[in-house]
Amino acid sequence: MLDTFAKLLCEHARVRPDRPAMRHKDLGIWHTWTWREMAETIRAYAAGLRDLGLERGATVAVIGENRPAMYWTILAAQWLGAIPVPVYADAVADEMAYVLGHAEVGFAVVQDQEQVDKLLAIQDQVPKLRVVLYDEPRGLRDYDHSRLHAVSGIIEKGRTLLASDPAVAAAIDAERDRGNGDDISIILYTSGTTGRSKGVLLSAGRSIAAARDTVAFDKLTDRDEVLAYLPLAWVGDHYLNYAQSLVSGFCVACPESRETVETNLQEIGPTFYFAPPRVFEALLTRVTIRMEDAGALKRRMFDYFIGLARRWGEKILDGDKVPLTARLGYGLGNLLVYAPLKNVLGFSRIRVAYTAGEAIGPDLFSFYRSLGINLKQLYGQTEAFLYVTAHPDGHIRVGTVGLATPNVDIRITEEGEVLYRSPGQFIGYYKDEERTAETVTPEGYVRTGDAGFFDEDGHLTIIDRAKDVGRLRSGAMFAPKYIENKLKFFPNIKEAVAFGQDSDFVTCMLNIDLTAVGNWAERNNIPYASYQELAQRPEVYAICAGHVAEVNRALAAEPRMAAAQIRRFLILHKELDADDGEMTRTQKVRRGFIAERYKPLVDALYNGAEAADISTEVTFEDGRKGVISARVKITDAATVETGRLEVAA
Amino acid sequence: MSGPKDAVGETMGETLLAVDGVSLGFGGVKAITDVSFDIRKGEIRAIIGPNGAGKTSMLNVINGFYHPQQGRITYKGQTRSRMRPYQAASQGIARTFQNVALFRGMSTLDNIMVGRTLRMHRGLFWQMLRFGPAMREEIDHRRHVEDIIDFLQIEAIRKTPVGKLPYGLQKRVELGRALAMEPELLLLDEPMAGMNMEEKEDMCRYILDLNRHFGTTIALIEHDIGVVMDLSDRVVVLEYGHKIADGTPEEVKADPKVIDAYLGVGH
């Protein structure tokens, strides 16, 4: 039974010994390990670790970037039945001390001197830590080596032991065979937004079962290849790269360093790729800027063919019926623009790409899809061992996170919270019965804390954190973040704050994006002296009214959201700022605080006034305070009622 | 487990270079007057002083660019009054410049590769072929250059033309080129000039790592006194071409003549 990762490793070494298992760029050259070589190395590493005293059930901290030694540590520990605990390499010492102390690690395998220093600083708080292994020796020569070892040295030691003593070899193989699917295979600590992080216990059998399902879902084989650049301690890396590689036998390439990921992406040309929306956004911005610097001919060619791709590309990707002329034009565009562009981005060979984590703008999403990149959304959690839903190939619906993945059972409570049962579902939180009981229902479903709904085709839409979803006075659902996100997808709108809790209708305040709108104003000869002046121009109100109307159209198309259309809006006279307490340091709007601070404006939004006066205290960058007074205009927005477009009174 | 042992002084050995009664003038201007000091194997030796004290001239004398009118320089036991720059280079003295002096249109990799020129032995004929001994030699050199790129953590800019790089990185590339010569004595002319705090800290780490792990002897000129005091084993202080102090950072810091030179008399 192939129910542990170590057994899977040995199976690959038997079935596809000469296929590449892992690559790493070092000193400018890509080095490759085949499955046979990797299995041999990890067997030796396991022997070396056992010699150091690592035992079944003990925990091992793994702290570093995506390097072969880090993945090998996870595998070698699992081989022995020990439990790897990957930790974010950029965690501050205090956070690291908590995780290492909570997990009671006796062993830590770290990347370099920086991490060794961090461990030295917190060693009093991690009393059980007795052995530290490092990957890169640089800077560590003068350290006390009584408890410090090089990973390469331990692997060598293991090799020698295996070669010289048949008893050791037999014991190592027996340890691997003793492992079974019920073993805890890893503890992943989730970065809790509130309170201390929780250790999510995952079992080998469930992890492998979950990975088998998605490997089949996306038809991954040993011909596929990924570039591993996501944080090692994040479920995304452990699932998408580690677990899927060991199930399907594809090759994991480790970048040369964190700064070279883009270049390495181009060199490897992965076939499976994951990135959060902001990466896709940054790439598109860079492409756009470069194209603006290009010559007139190239620019026109680019604009023409991107327009063509926007019109037909997604249809072609989804296999819909497309006129022959469009197909020919797209083919030419591929030759001249799309293929070279994808090559520069390192996306030439991508078969499956995913994004997740935050909402992705429909424009951004369809830009990549129109180039022929099979970009999809997934929704998942550490507790689920990743997948809860995903878009199947050819069934993409922008704005949703897709259908339930195979063998995942989703239920939505009356309050709108999403619950699931999944094949990879966690065993519990480490040493935290109480929070486990809070999260798992008696029927065995896991609470996500997210509110969502299914559309008629079974696509799930995630609205917001369940506790943030409110109600209008009529009882209709009011999800402020959902509405705000839709507004913020427009480049002209920088921030949005929606109000409506216990009110008759929804209103909102907007911040325009000074760069985007300012650029537009310059091109249209609209003079302005300041943000305040530009924000109050009737032309700018007209633009925003158009955006709000479009959002309302989108909301009206969703039965649950139709009542939450924006009736009235205003453009704030100043930009929301963390220094004034209007936003958090992570750039999230503080709705309650804003409602209080701008009470006259909120009142005016609801009492039908056409303008309101406001004066607010602001803090300048040097700490001085001043007062901004302004008269802010308020406008009604076009809403959709019973299928007709009309202007609300 | 414990932190690094203090390695200062452990690696210091015999005299690598001795400057003996050196004087240098340009016409009527006396740049250096009767200066003597020595640099020992494995140490970090700083030369400091106010503007115009003759620090860079001193460095130029050491690597043979200027020829002193009086005095002798003994390097690795050989005494000579004149040493030409190419002799200095071939005997293991490398340097970096106060103002970055790189080939701006060439990549980082190629710039550092230039530093290997002295160690390439095959002639033009072999170098023109893409096979044979020159190719094997080039692979060896590339391997060495890659070690330097790894050491200085500049993998991400390997193929970038240096003209496009920020100043701090250019300085690092220049250090890389000097290292490519595998020098015994490395002369650094204001390695941290114009850098921000973070870049300075990085540079300090590279200099210390170089000294500790490769045993490279380093002579450096620097304006940032804080950096000098933390980094160096011994310090020479020049003022108007004269040596006014010589010793460990603590000794030099306490020397009244040095305080006068830096803060002015009557402070």
| DSSP per-residue string spanning B201-264 | HHHHHHHHHHHHHH--EEEEE-S-HHHHHHH-SEEEEEETTEEEEEE-HHHHHH-HHHHHHHH-
Q: Span A553-574, mean pLDDT? A: 90
What pLDDT digit, counting tens, does each position of A150-160 carry? 999 999 999 99
As a whole number of angstroms, the distance between CA A508 and CA B94 comes to: 66
Q: In whole angstroms, give the CA distance from residue A35 to residue B246.
A: 61
> Out of B3, B5, B150, whose CB is closest to A27?
B150
Q: Mutate which of A142, A146, A148, A262 to disrupt the B interface (most B C-beta within 10 Å)?
A: A142
Mutating which of B107, B143, B155, B201 best tests the A interface, going by the most A Cβ atoms within 10 A? Answer: B155
Q: What is the pLDDT of residue B11?
A: 47
B265: pLDDT confidence band, cut at 50, 70 and 90?
low
- B251 interfaces chain A, CB cutoff of 8 Å: no
pLDDT at A456: 87
Give the whole-angstrom CA distance, residue A183 versus residue A180. Answer: 6
**CA closest to A120 among chain B residues:** B2
Stated as kind and residue range, the H or E segment containing B178 is helix B167-180
Q: Do A141 and B146 touch (CB under 8 A)?
A: no
User: Does residue A194 carry a pLDDT above 70?
Assistant: no
B121 touches chain A (CB under 8 A): no
B212 interfaces chain A, CB cutoff of 8 Å: yes
What b/e string do you get for B119-138 counting C-beta neighbours within 10 Å, with b at 16 or more? eeeeeeebeeeeeeebeebb
Are A144 and B2 a contacting pair at CB < 8 A?
Answer: yes
How close B213 comes to chain A (CA, Å)?
Answer: 8
Cβ pair A209, A234 in contact under 8 A:
no
- Nearest by CB to residue B4, choosing from A119, A143, A257, is A143
Pick the range with the lowest mean pLDDT from A490-504, A593-607, B123-137, B161-175. Answer: B123-137
A interface residues, B as partner, C-beta within 8 Å:
26-29, 117, 119-120, 123, 132, 138-139, 141-144, 146-148, 256-257, 259-260, 263
Structure confidence at residue A446 (pLDDT): 96
Section A602-609 average pLDDT: 92
Please judge whether A27 and B147 are an interchain contact, meaning their C-beta atoms are less than 8 angstroms apart. yes
Indicate whether A646 pLDDT > 60: no
The pLDDT of residue B6 is: 45
Q: Could you tell me if A199 and A187 are in contact, meaning their C-beta atoms sit under 8 angstroms apart?
A: yes
> Average of pLDDT values for A495-515?
92
Mean pLDDT calculated for residue range B56-73: 89
Q: Where are the domains of chain A?
A: 5-203, 277-373, 469-647
What's the confidence (pLDDT) of residue A647?
Answer: 44
Measured between CA atoms, how close is B2 to chain A, in angstroms? 5
Nearest chain A residue to B150 by CA: give it: A27
pLDDT band at A180 (very low <50, low <70, confident <90, very high): very high
* Nearest residue in chain B measured CA to CA from A117: B3
Closest residue of B to A130, CA-based?
Answer: B1
CB contact under 8 A, A143 and B150: no
In the predicted structure, residue B264 carries a pLDDT above the cut 70: no
Dihedral sign for Cα atoms in the order B21, B25, B28, B30: negative
Q: For the whole prediction, is pTM greater than 0.90?
A: no
Residue A204 — pLDDT band, cuts 50, 70, 90? Answer: very high
Cβ–Cβ gap B209/A141 under 8 Å:
no
**What average pLDDT does the segment A378-389 reach?**
94
Mean pLDDT, residues A450-476: 89
- pLDDT for A628-643, tens place per residue? 888 899 999 988 874 4
- Shortest distance between the Cα of B78 and any Cα of chain A, in A, equals 34
Q: Check whether A363 has a pLDDT greater than 80.
A: yes
Residue B14 has pLDDT above 90, yes or no: no
Mean per-residue pLDDT, B149-158: 93
**Closest in B3, B7, B150 to A120, CB measured:** B3
Residue A568 is predicted with a pLDDT of: 95
For residue B125, the model assigns a pLDDT of 76
Nearest to A27 among B1, B146, B159 (CB): B146
Tokens of A184: 């805890």
Of B4, B155, B209, the CB nearest to A257: B155
Q: Please, are residues B118 and B181 in contact by the beta-carbon 8 Å criterion?
A: yes
C-alpha distances out from residue A237 to A231, A274, A410, B57, Å: 6, 9, 24, 56
Asked if B153's CB is within 8 angstroms of A257's CB, the reply is: yes
- The tens digit of pLDDT for each residue in B36-62 reads 999 999 999 999 988 888 898 999 998
For residue A592, the distance in angstroms to the closest alpha carbon of chain B comes to 39
Q: Is A615's pLDDT higher than 90?
A: no
pLDDT given at position A643: 46
Question: Which residues make beta-bridge pairs with A23?
Answer: A32, A253
Q: In this predicted model, what pLDDT tens digit does every residue of A124-134 receive, in sequence order?
A: 999 999 999 99
Report how many helices (DSSP H) and strands (DSSP E) chain A contains, helices first: 23, 30
Average pLDDT for A74-85 = 97
Among the ranges A68-77, B149-158, B164-173, which has the highest mean pLDDT value?
A68-77
Q: Which among B1, B149, B155 is the nearest to A144, CB-wise?
A: B1
Most confident of A60-69, A94-103, A118-127, B56-65: A60-69
Arithmetic mean of pLDDT over chain A: 91
Using a CB–CB cutoff of 8 Å, tell me whether B110 touches chain A: no
CA distance to partner chain A, nearest, from residue B187 (Å)? 22
| Residue B259, C-beta contacts closer than 8 angstroms, at least 6 positions apart | B267
How many CB pairs below 8 A link A and B?
Answer: 49
Among A28, A146, A147, the residue with its CB nearest the CB of B146 is: A28
B138 vs chain A: nearest CA distance in angstroms? 14
The reply to whether residue A143 touches residue B2, judged by beta carbons under 8 angstroms, is yes
**Pair of tokens at residue A527:** 């003079």
Q: Residue A310: is its pLDDT beyond 70?
A: yes
pLDDT band per the 50, 70, 90 thresholds, residue A586:
low
Residue of B nearest to A133 (CA): B1
Contacts A139 to B, Cβ<8 Å: 4, 209
- Taking every pair of Cα atoms in chain A, the longest distance, rounded to a whole number of angstroms, is 89
Among A112, A135, A141, A262, the strongest candidate for a mutation testing the B interface, having the largest count of B CBs within 10 A, is: A141
Is B109 within 8 Å of B158 (Cβ atoms)? yes
Question: What integer is the mean pLDDT of A38-55?
Answer: 97
Identity of the amino acid at B50: P
| Residue A649 pLDDT exceeds 50 | no
Q: How confident is the model over A265-298, as pLDDT tens digits?
A: 999 999 999 999 889 988 988 888 788 788 999 9
User: What CATH superfamily classification does B9-92+183-267 receive?
Assistant: P-loop containing nucleotide triphosphate hydrolases (3.40.50.300)
Domain ranges of chain B: 9-92+183-267, 105-181
Does A552 have pLDDT greater than 60?
yes
Of A147, A148, A260, the CB nearest to B155: A260
User: Which chain A residues are closer than 8 Å to B149 by Cβ?
Assistant: 27-28
pLDDT at A645 > cutoff 60: no
Residue A422 pLDDT more than 90? yes
Min Cα–Cα distance to chain B from A130, Å: 9
Domain A469-647: what homologous superfamily? ANL, C-terminal domain (3.30.300.30)
Q: Is pLDDT of A230 > 50?
A: yes
Residue with tokens 């402020």: A480
B1 and A259 within 8 Å at the Cβ level: the answer is no
Cβ neighbours of B1 in A, within 8 Å: 119-120, 123, 132, 143-144, 146-148
Q: Specify burial of residue A442 (Cβ count, 10 A radius: 0-12, 13-18, 19+).
A: exposed
Contacts with A, B 71-100, CB within 8 Å: none
Mean pLDDT across the stretch B142-170?
A: 92
- Which of A119, A120, A141 minimises the CB distance to B213? A141
Per mean pLDDT, which of A75-79, A472-476, A535-539, B147-151 is the most reliable? A75-79
Which residues of chain B lie closer than 8 angstroms to A263, CB-CB? 156, 159
In this prediction, residue A428 carries a pLDDT of 95
Of A220-234, A465-479, B124-138, the range with the lowest mean pLDDT is: B124-138
CA distance B153 to chain A (A): 9
Contacts of A126 in chain B (CB under 8 A): none
Average per-residue pLDDT in chain B?
A: 86
Indicate the CATH number for domain A5-203: 3.40.50.980
Rg (CA), chain B: 19
Of A379, A372, A355, which Cα lies nearest the Cα of A277?
A355
Confidence of residue A193 (pLDDT cuts 50, 70, 90): low
Q: Which residue has the higher pLDDT, A294 or A77?
A: A77
Facing residue for B5 by CB, picked from A29, A123, A142: A142
- Residue A648 pLDDT > 70: no
Q: Which of B1, B5, B156 sits opposite A123 (nearest CB)?
A: B1
Confidence class for position A506, pLDDT limits 50, 70, 90: very high
Please, is A324 exposed, middle or buried when counting C-beta atoms within 10 Å of its C-beta (0-12, 13-18, 19+)?
exposed
Q: Which of A95-104, A334-343, A459-468 has the lowest mean pLDDT?
A: A459-468
pLDDT of residue A288: 84
Considering only alpha carbons, which residue of chain A is nearest residue B143? A27
